[in-house]
Structure formats: C-alpha cells, structure tokens
Amino acid sequence: MFRLFGGIALLFIGRLSYPIISDATLIQFGKSIYSGGKNFVEEVRKSNDSASVSNSDSASDDVINTIPTNVSKNWKCPECSYNERYVLEQLQEKTKITDRNSLATIMGNIKQESKFIPNICEGGARVPYNSCYRGGYGIIQWTTKDRYRGLGLFAKKYDCDPSELECQTRYMINESVFVKNLSKFEENGYSVAYYMKSAYKWLGWGVKGSRETYSYQYVNKLILS
C-alpha cells in the first residue's frame, strides 16, 4: 500500500516538475516504482534530457530559418533628379558618410551652388569646361585658379570629361579640400547647423543663400531603404 501511494505521489510530482514528459512515460515510471523497480528520478532525468535534445534541434532549425538577409541599406531620394540621386549614391559608396543630416547638408550646398548642373558657369551659362572664363564652374562652382585647374588635371589623369557629372563627382569626393573635412561629415548624430560649419570650410561661399533651407528639404526627402 505504501508503495502504491508513493508511486501516485511521484507521478504527481513528476507531472509538476517535468510537464514535457508524456503521461504514458510517467505511468510507466510509476509502475516501475510500485513494483520496486528502477529509480524514478533517474528515468525522468534521462527522458527529460532526450526531450531537451529534441527541443534544442527544433530551436536550431527556427534560428536558421529566421536569420535576416544581410541587405545593406542606404539613404535614397525618390523625388530627386537623376543628378541628385547619382551624387547621393556616390557619396555613400565612396565615403563613410551615413548620417542623413550630413548627406542632406552636402546636397543642399550643391543645390545652392549649381542646382546639380555640371556644365554651368557662374552666371548661368551652360558651357564646356574650357569655355568658362570667369567665376566658378561645375556642381560646386570651383572658382579659385588651383581648384578649377585641379578639375582639369584630374579629368586628364583619369580620362574623364570635366564637363560631365560623373567626372566632377569623382573629383569632388577626392579633392583635398573635401577630404580634409570628410571626417566631420562622417560623424553621426549632429544637426544640419553642425555640418554646415564643415560645408563652409569645404566650399568657402561668399553668399550663403538658401543652402541651409535646401539642406532641411533634403532631410525630409531622404528615406532609408
């Protein structure tokens, strides 16, 4: 009688302690205890270990199936023109700039300088590189003799057209003045006003114009995708 009650008690404890064990297994263990047979705790431990291994395998399958695809995301501007989108893409591809405000500030300054028109001479004339005789030229209006000449030398070295967007964008990103300020643009978490200070050191504008307004407009246009 004592073993009968003991077996029932162990069945009850086993159900509370090991809810994952089947009723059939617990009944079998109870019978073993009642008949003076094997150690109930040892049987439960073995059965629990077996169930744990099974569950572990299932968990591994779940993890493998839920690993997200490693797709890099970039800031894009669906509303922008081809020229704007190209420059935005190259800035992210060729540098470590990832902050939206930083990118927007650079874009806003380029828009103020040229509206992203590569063959524009200061004053509005659309002419080839060699036909702009005064003022700035290109997407950031290279103005000083050294910077204007630098565009021509870069184009000759890398066999590209200094009047075209692709060549000017490459030169802009590699130009020493931009590279000197690049580390500030690559910092994250700052305001447009903060990045505007570096933009001034990069471009050295005489007239600020609407560049800051344009920058905030780009902040609202850029989406991460």
Name residue 76's beta-bridge partners. Answer: 223
Check if the beta carbon of residue 100 is closer than 8 Å to that of residue 87.
Answer: no
Nearest partner of 141 among 69, 75, 206, 223, judged by Cα: 206
Could you state, in order of their start, the residue ranges of all structural domains in the chain? 2-66, 78-224
The alpha helices in 67-99, defined as continuous H runs, are 82-94
Along the 225 residues of the chain, how does pLDDT read in single tens digits? 444 445 455 444 454 544 544 555 545 545 554 444 444 444 444 544 544 444 434 333 333 232 244 558 999 999 999 999 999 999 999 999 999 999 999 999 999 999 999 999 999 999 999 999 999 999 999 999 999 999 999 999 999 999 999 999 999 999 999 999 999 999 999 999 999 999 999 999 999 999 999 999 999 999 999
- pLDDT attached to residue 67: 26
- pLDDT attached to residue 63: 35
Angstrom CA distances, 150 to 22, 91, 139, 153, stand at 80, 20, 14, 5
Place of tokens 């990103």: 173
| CB contact set of 122 (below 8 Å; sequence gap of 6+) | 132, 134, 135, 136, 137, 141, 143
In three-state secondary structure terms, 75 is strand
Segment holding 55, helix H or strand E: helix 40-66
Nearest partner of 199 among 120, 124, 135, 103, judged by Cα: 103
- pLDDT attached to residue 72: 80
In three-state secondary structure terms, 107 is helix
Burial class (CB in 10 A: 0-12, 13-18, 19+), 224: exposed
CATH fold of the domain at 78-224: Lysozyme (1.10.530)
